[in-house]
Amino acid sequence: MNNCRSFKPSIDSNSKVLILGSMPGVKSLEEQQYYAHPQNRFWKVMGVICHEQNLSAFHYDKKLETLLKNKIALWDTIKSCKREGSLDSDIQNETPNDIRKLLKNYPNIKTICLNGNKSYSAFRKYFSDLLTEYDCHKMPSTSPANARYTLEKLSGEWRSVVIKALVLE
């Protein structure tokens, strides 16, 4: 089993939507970049939301900057765990990130999008009270393991939630 540690959040005082993954996969941990696996559709979906069709081809810092410019923050529900490989189902001995502290420090966040089942189940386990305090959404995973969702369907579901949250603020 490998010891895995999440990254620092990508957030600023203008952020209104917080997207929480579970734990970065092997490729992301190697690259020290969120959603670094080329088959993960996260950056393509965010490109649709942010009206940047080539977002997935941008330099990593520019990708994060684009999200922040669009008031979207990024972090993980899990701070550390043991896991062999990249599958969320293999996560063991998890410790959550201090999401309560993050939300206290960034009060403009009103909407939380949980990227996939593991992110949602960990959030529900450690922060169930926040499910009613915030506008929380269990989102379909952008992982290549979620093959039943086409990019179009995935983008549509994500777009409807994120754009609505940004428009209502």
- Residues taking part in catalysis: 40
Cα 133 to its chain centre, rounded Å, is 19
Query: What SS3 class is residue 92?
Result: strand
Q: Which residue has the tokens 């993954």?
A: 21
Q: What residues contact residue 125 under an 8 Å CB cut-off, 6+ apart?
A: 96
The rounded distance, in Å, linking the Cα atoms of 7 and 19 is 13
